[in-house]
Amino acid sequence: MNQITKISNTIIREAPIQLIFKITAISIIFNVIYAIVAIIADNSEAFNNESIAGSLTYDTFFLLLFIVIQLLIVAYLITIRYSRYYKLEEEYILHKTWILTKKETRFKIDHIRSINIRKWFRGNILQFGDIEITTQADGKKVTLDSIPNPEQLVYFIGQIEHITE
């Protein structure tokens, strides 16, 4: 197995911690909204001891509604995470997405003009960041968002570029 094969064919996805942050934020937001709705329902005469259908009260209805909405949003976030990825190949970096339609963008490794790593406070602590790649020909920029260990990926890209020259 040659050195290019070891480095290439690597699939890179968004850092899993980002998904955890998004799910936690959604959970907090929906819990606050539910608390506000519950307070309004408890203090409103229109909702006192009222049921929507049989034994289903407004509190239970809104709780179930918010749980279903949260689950749908979390399922969407997970789908996005697994349907969007980058792949290192021998000569290209592929960006693939396939939510409703399949889209594939290729960037030739030997046409890279510059690579910049951007990390925020949270990324420094948890070892993830964005990689911004600029191509030589048209100056087109592509950003690989929330990549785990971006320094290592930049090193791999440099190794591939060095080997293919």
Return the CATH number of the domain spanning residue range 3-13+87-164. 2.30.29.30
* Burial (0-12, 13-18, 19+ Cβ within 10 Å), 116: middle
Q: Considering the entire predicted model, what is its pTM?
A: 0.68
- Contact present, 103 and 90 (Cβ < 8 Å): no
Provide mean pLDDT across the span 88-94.
79
- pLDDT number for residue 72: 93
Structure tokens at 130: 């964005």
- pLDDT number for residue 29: 92
Reference 157, options 84, 90, 85; nearest CA is: 90
Mean pLDDT lowest among 42-51, 78-87, 108-117, 136-145: 42-51
Question: Is residue 147 very low, low, confident or very high in pLDDT (cuts 50, 70, 90)?
Answer: confident
Kindly give the pairing relationship between strand 102-108 and strand 84-88.
Answer: unpaired
- pLDDT number for residue 47: 63
- pLDDT number for residue 2: 46
